[in-house]
Amino acid sequence: MSQKKNSEMNFEAGLERLEKIVQELEQGDLTLDRTLKLFEEGMKLSGDCRRQLEEAESKVELLLKKGDGKMTAEPFHLDDENQPS
């Protein structure tokens, strides 16, 4: 898969590809060259997915409104599992 296709991949497709890369790497019967190529692709996809999540988080923060009708950025939390203890 080319780098251009990776950067244009939507979030869901990126996650799906990452899962396939992890499965292939976990099999452990790859050449060093193939392992490095998969690792490099996975790191790029991971960065792309992280960037897309950050963009979505920024959009959500901008859309949150306080009771007075003014738009106010607030921290975004998915659930309690991701909160520091």
Which CATH number goes with the domain that contains 18?
1.10.287
Q: Say how many C-beta atoms besides its own lie within 10 A of residue 30's C-beta.
A: 13
Give the pLDDT confidence of 36-85 residue by residue, as tens digits: 999 999 999 999 999 999 998 888 877 775 555 566 666 666 665 544 54
Spatial distance between the Cα atoms of 61 and 25, rounded to a whole number of angstroms: 36
Q: Hey, is 4 helix, strand or coil? A: helix
Structural domain count of the chain: 1
Cα–Cα dist 60/55, whole Å: 9
Whole-model pTM over 0.85: no
Instruction: Give residue 40's domain range.
Output: 3-82
Task: Say which residue the tokens 């244009």 belong to.
Answer: 8
